[in-house]
Structure 1
Amino acid sequence: MYHVLARTHRLRDLCGALICLLFSLACPAQASINGNAPASANKSLIITGASYAQEWKTPALPGYTVINMASCGLITSEVRARFERDVIELKPDTVLIWGHSNDVVRSEPQDMTSTKKKAQENYEAMIEQARAAGITPILATDLTIPIPDTMKEKVLSFIGNVRGKTDYRVEKNTEIKALNAWLREYAKTHNVKLLDLERALASGNGTRKVEYTRKDNSHITAAGYEAITKYVVSQMT
């Protein structure tokens, strides 16, 4: 009787081992669920920011699984207010923070100094929050408003200067670029990776290429996003 039971137990153990083996072969992703991800697994990257970032959707970035949590119309204070929910709680490996143009566009000239200071504080707070949570932060410079390099634009600019009036686009671009310059210096000083989107889409006249801008003179065309993705891939690989 003892031998019969022993053989029965051995047969049951053998069947159990075979079932486990078959299950493991059928479910190769189980290792990553248990926290032992294979070395080749992609890192997770969250994009946060406003409409420019939102409309980039989930670009194909080698080595990353992208989640886009950006939302149209946000300023940096609102991105910061959502940072815990949109980024920290999801525990990504990396977060890309993109966007301060709404801060600038919505600010009155007399408030611009305080607006830029607040945007800087928001960036700093999000970088610190990400690093405290073990998340690698990446910063991105923002895009300028395009100004076509045409004779008509040059004439209008000359007339405006004679009359002592500053072009709205020039006024806003000056402040967007000032914050971009601050981001470059901050990233360099604090060892944060920076994606210089302003320069990646530059036309050569100090503003964004017209062909990368939709008819609203703000949002990005498909060609613009293709250029952004190509540039970012070159910087991330």
Structure 2
Amino acid sequence: MAAKAKDWANLNKYKNKNTLLAPPATGEKRIVFFGDSITENWSSASPDFFIGKTYINRGISGQTTPQMLLRFRPDVIELKPEIVVILAGTNDIAENTGPTTLEIILGNLISMCELAKANGIKVILSSVLPAYDYPWKSGLEPADKIETLNNMIVKYTKTNNIPYVDYYSAMVDQRKGLNSIYSKDGVHPNKEGYRVMGPIVEATIANL
């Protein structure tokens, strides 16, 4: 008997929510926050950030950029936002869906940007947050890879006139890890971490 096909990109996670979501009201500047656990956890760790705003959280824990690229249409484009804030890449470096390269990660981010642009959606690209090590996959030495990937993202955003949100510089410690004030596990922000991130991204949103 054939094994049941898995929902590799977790397309079903927000399927019902997306169906129930009304189209944007006239004048509504809808903004989708699109990412992995760092985005998904934002709603629970710092709910005030989302309350009373036109922000929609479409983060899924553990996701890599190829998974996010597969769900970009249902979880971003079809929601008809004015802006999408993309934050991704650390799980790729952690090899959550297998070995990859920084060039492939950047390519997936570029593909998301191109899809957004083709559908009239403005993009904000975020830095990958610093991480000295991954608790679930220790020994991959991600710190330098994250720094290099961020430099690649910056170069792309400058060349293509895309706003870049730099969480990294505000949250990195002397080891190129995530400052312990802002995280318990060195990867995921706590409430203090999200308090730092909120004003940084909102300043960029305001400029758009």
Q: Do both share a fold (TM > 0.5)? A: yes
Deviation at 1:108, TM superposition (A): 11
Q: Which of 106, 109, 115 is equivalent to 2:95?
A: 106
Whether the aligned pair in 2 keeps the contact of 1:144 and 1:207 (CA below 8 Å) is yes
State the distance in 2 between where 1:124 and 1:34 align: 26
Q: Which has the higher helix share?
A: 1
Aligned match of 1:218: 187
Distance 1:106 1:42, change over 3 A: same
State the distance in 2 between where 1:69 and 1:35 align: 16
Aligned match of 1:141: 127
State the distance in 1 between where 2:131 and 2:24 align: 45
AA of the residue aligned to 2:159: T
Deviation at 1:129, TM superposition (A): 0.3
Aligned match of 1:130: 116
State the distance in 2 between where 1:123 and 1:183 align: 9
State the distance in 1 between where 2:23 and 2:148 align: 46
AA of the residue aligned to 1:43: K
AA of the residue aligned to 1:183: I
AA of the residue aligned to 2:124: I
State the distance in 1 between where 2:23 and 2:199 align: 34
1:168 is aligned to 2:154: no
Q: SS of 2:200's equivalent?
A: helix
Q: Deviations over 1:155-204 (max 9, x none)?
A: xxxxxxxxxxxx937x2111111111100110000000110111121235
State the distance in 2 between where 1:108 and 1:78 align: 9
Whether the aligned pair in 2 keeps the contact of 1:46 and 1:94 (CA below 8 Å) is yes
5+ residue gaps, structure 1, are 1-32, 148-166
Aligned match of 1:163: none
Aligned match of 1:96: 85
Query: How much is the aligned-residue C-alpha RMSD, in angstroms?
Result: 2.9
AA of the residue aligned to 2:163: K
State the distance in 2 between where 1:123 and 1:201 align: 22
**Which has the larger Rg?**
1
Deviation at 1:207, TM superposition (A): 2.8
Q: How many residues align?
A: 178
5+ residue gaps, structure 2, are 1-21
Share of identical aligned residues, percent?
Answer: 28
